Chains A and B, each alone.
Chain A
Amino acid sequence: MAMVEYEGKQFDVDEDGFLLNFEQWCPEWVDFVKESEGIKEITEEHQKVIDFLQDYYKKNGIAPMVRILSKVTGFKLKHIYELFPSGPGKGACKMAGLPKPTGCV
C-alpha cells in the first residue's frame, strides 16, 4: 500500500493507482490523476461523468454499467473513450475515486 501526496493532500493508493478509500476523494485527486490517464484538462464533460459516477456509487454501492453511464450522461461509449482514453473503468472510475473494477477484466 502506497501513500501519495499532492498539493498538501495525502492519498492511499494501490499498485494500479486507484484510491483505497472513497472518502479520501477530493478535487485535487482528479488533478493528480489526469496526467497518468492521458488527460490534459478537465472539461465540463469530464466533470459530468465523474459527478454521475460518484452519485451513482453513493446511491447504489456499485459503479454503473457502461450502458447506464452512456444513457444518463448522453455520451456514447466512443465519446467516453475520447474523454477518458483508458476507458470508463480504468480512467473515469479511477478519477472519480471508485473502487477498482473486479472480475475477469
Chain B
Amino acid sequence: MAFISSGYNPDKPMENRITDIGPRDFNEFLPPVIKKNFGKWAYHEILEPGVLMHKAESGDEVYTVRCGGCRLMSTEHIREITEIADKHCDGYLRFTTRNNIEFMVDSKDKIEPLKEDLLSRKGPGGDYKFPIGGTGACITNIVHTQGWIHCHTPATDASGTVKATMDELFEEFTNMRLPAILRISMACCLNMCGAVHCSDLAILGIHRKPPMIDHEYIDNLCEIPLAVASCPVAAIRPSKAEIVAESGEKKTVKTVAIKNERCMFCGNCYTMCPSLPLADQEGDGIALMVGGKISNRISAPKFSKVVVAFIPNEPPRWPTMTKTIRKIVDAYAKNANKYERLGDWAERIGWEKFFEVCDIPFTEHVIDDFRDPAYYTWRQSTNFKWTHGVEDFANIKK
C-alpha cells in the first residue's frame, strides 16, 4: 500500500508533538453501575464458574461474566469482543490482570443471553473463542510471554506451550473443584517476564549449552565490559583472539573468553551482547517450578521452586510437558486440604513426599548451588520421611 501520512511532518518532527499525556483516566470507561457504586460494594458471590455477582450498599447488583482470552489477539478478535460488549453491556468491558475478558451486566436476566452468545462463538478449528470460567478455586488463564513470536532470547515458545497446557487443563478452567486457586505462568527464558517466580506452577524456558562467540564482530557490536558484568557466575572474561575474518584477512581482535564449566546457560550475556547467541534446538527446553504464591492469605508469599529440571521442546503440542503438569495438578487436587495452595501443600507434606506423590524423579539439578544462600535450602535437620525422593537423593550422593 502506498504511504498515507497521519499528518506528522518528518521535516519538523517536534512541531505539534504531544507528549507526557499518560493513559486515559479509567473513570471514563466505567460502566454506569460501577461508577455509581464505586467504593461502596457490600459483598460478592460466585454464582457459577465464570460468573460473579457484586452487591452494592445501595442494593445495586453487577454481574460479571469472565471468559478466557488468548492474550495474543488480532484486531478482528478485539472488534468481536467490542461487538459483544455493544450488544449486551452498553459497550463496556474490561480485561483482568491475567488477560481474561470480563463482560459486566446490571441485571440477572441479561446473563443467560450473554453466556449463550459467548459460548456459541467458535473459531474455524472448533475452539471456543470465549470460554467462560476462571473464577474461584480453578486454573485461570496462564500469564505468559512472547516466545518465538517476537522475542530474541527465548528458549521455548510461549503461545504454543500455553495453548497446549490450557487444552490439557481446560476442565479446570470451567470448574471450581481444586483445593484453592492454581496459578500457572509461563516465561520463555529465565529473564522471567511475568509471574513464573511466584506461581503455583511455572513453565520456564531454559538453555543447556554455553553461548557461541562471534569473535569477528563482538568488539564492534558489544560493549565488552557489559557482557563481562552480565554474568552471574563470572564465567566471562575479556580476552584477545587471533581470527581469520570472513574476508580471509588474519587479525587480532578484542573479544571475550567463556569458561564453559562455569557457564550455566542463563543467556544474560546474549541480552547484553548480540555476538553471544546460545539458542539451540536440542539443548533448549523447559523447566517446571511449583509452589509460589503472591497473596498473603494464611502463609506469606513464596517463590516457586524447580522440581523438573528439563523437559525437551516438543512443538507443537509439548506432550511430555503437559503430561507432567497434569500429574502435578492431579496429585495436588487429590491430596491437598481445602484452601491449601500448592506451595502450602508441598511444604506441609514435605518436599520429599511431594516428589513421591507427584511421581517426579528427584535429580541433582534441583539442589540449589548458587552462592551462599544455597546452604539455607539444604536440610539442616534429621526431620524427614523415607520416600522415593529421599532414595533418589541417596543415589545421587553415591
Residues of A in contact with B (beta carbons under 8 Å apart) = 20-22, 38, 57, 60-63, 85, 99-100, 102-104
- Cα(A75)–Cα(B258), bound, Å: 39
**A99 with B271: in contact, given A62-B226, A85-B14 (CB under 8 Å)?**
no
Cβ of B107: which chain A residues have Cβ within 8 Å of it? Answer: none
Q: How far is the CA of A22 from the CA of B217 in the complex (A)?
A: 11
Say how far B396's CB is from chain A's closest CB, in angstroms.
36
The answer to whether A99 and B225 have CB atoms under 8 Å apart is no
A49 shortest CB reach to chain B, Å: 18
Q: How far is the CA of A8 from the CA of B191 in the complex (A)?
A: 44
Interface residues, chain B, with chain A CB atoms under 8 Å away: 13-14, 191, 217, 220-226, 271-274
- Within the complex, the shortest CB–CB distance from B182 to chain A, in Å, comes to 29
A102 touches B14 (CB 8 A): no
Taking the closest CB of chain B, its distance from the CB of A51, in whole angstroms, is: 18
Report the minimal beta-carbon distance from B67 to chain A, rounded to whole angstroms.
Answer: 31
Name the residue on B nearest A82 (C-beta).
B14
Q: How far, in Å, is B176 (CB) from chain A's closest CB?
A: 37
What is the distance, in angstroms, from B317's C-beta to the closest C-beta of chain A?
Answer: 30
User: What is the interface of chain A mostly: helix, strand, loop, or mixed?
Assistant: loop
Most buried by B among A20, A21, A100, A102: A102
Q: Which of A38, A60, A62, A100 contacts B221 (CB 8 A)?
A: A100
Whole-angstrom CA separation of A60 from B224 in the bound complex: 9
> Judging by beta carbons under 8 Å apart, are A102 and B222 in contact?
yes
Closest CB pairs A-B (n = 9): A38-B13, A62-B223, A21-B220, A102-B272, A62-B225, A61-B225, A61-B224, A99-B221, A62-B226
Query: Are A103 and B272 in touch, CB under 8 angstroms?
Result: yes
A39 closest partner in B (C-beta): B13
Task: Pick the residue among B13, B191, B220 that contacts A99 (CB under 8 A).
Answer: B220
Bound complex: CA of A101 vs CA of B225, how far in Å? Answer: 13
Q: How far is the CA of A95 from the CA of B170 in the complex (A)?
A: 53
Chain A residues whose C-beta falls within 8 Å of the C-beta of B191 in the assembled complex: 104
Complex CA–CA separation, A22 to B224 (angstroms): 14
**A60-B220 contact in complex given A38-B13, A102-B273, A102-B274, C-beta closer than 8 Å:** no
The answer to whether A38 and B225 have CB atoms under 8 Å apart is: no
